[in-house]
């Protein structure tokens, strides 16, 4: 868990493209070999399409050939306001993490540079669906 990545997550959340909800999310994904990939949420104005910051970061990492993931940092806030709480990943993102990561994959929920919590994927999804053994 790195302080500079917490700062980066907060900073990149302002790149979110969220005209529909005005709710900005930034995610920084760390791979097993310590590379980082960033993602923000992307919406169309009518919310016909919305992609969460977390899945955006996974897509970028996968497109770069990455397959092993260690940790993700997440920060969400209303546009032009600081976060009022920590934002957990949505169910869709948790399932993607479940299918791409191990149980001890870490999820860092950030409220500010000094207020954050580190959880594991297993804490969020103790009973999980997997099609393989």
Spatial distance between the Cα atoms of 93 and 111, rounded to a whole number of angstroms: 19
Residue nearer to ligand THU on the CB measure, 79 or 103: 79
107 closest CA partner among 126, 88, 92, 125: 88
Report the site for ligand THU in 67-96 (rule: CB under 6 A). 87, 89-90, 93
User: Rule CB under 6 A: is residue 108 a binding residue for ligand THU?
Assistant: no
SS3 content of the chain, % helix, strand, coil (to 5): 30, 30, 40
Assess whether 54 carries a catalytic annotation. yes
Residue nearer to ligand THU on the CB measure, 22 or 132: 22
- Residue reference for tokens 């955006």: 56
Report the site for ligand THU in 4-63 (rule: CB under 6 A). 18, 21, 23, 25, 41, 43, 50, 52-54
Do residues 21 and 51 touch, judged by C-beta distance below 8 A? no
Active site residues: 54
Binding site for ligand THU (CB under 6 A): 18, 21, 23, 25, 41, 43, 50, 52-54, 87, 89-90, 93
């Amino acid at each position: 868990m790195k302080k500079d990545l917490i700062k980066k997550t907060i900073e990149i959340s302002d790149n979110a493209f969220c005209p529909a909800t005005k709710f900005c999310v930034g995610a920084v994904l760390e791979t097993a070999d310590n590379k980082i990939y960033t993602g923000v949420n992307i919406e169309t104005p009518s919310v016909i399409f919305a992609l969460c910051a977390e899945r955006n970061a996974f897509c970028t990492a996968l497109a770069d050939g990455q397959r092993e993931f260690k940790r993700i940092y997440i920060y969400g806030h209303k546009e032009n306001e600081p976060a009022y709480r920590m934002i957990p990943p949505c169910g869709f993102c948790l399932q993607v993490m479940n299918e791409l990561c191990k149980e001890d994959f870490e999820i860092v929920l950030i409220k500010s540079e000094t207020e954050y919590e580190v959880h594991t994927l297993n804490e969020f999804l103790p009973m999980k669906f997997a099609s393989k053994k």
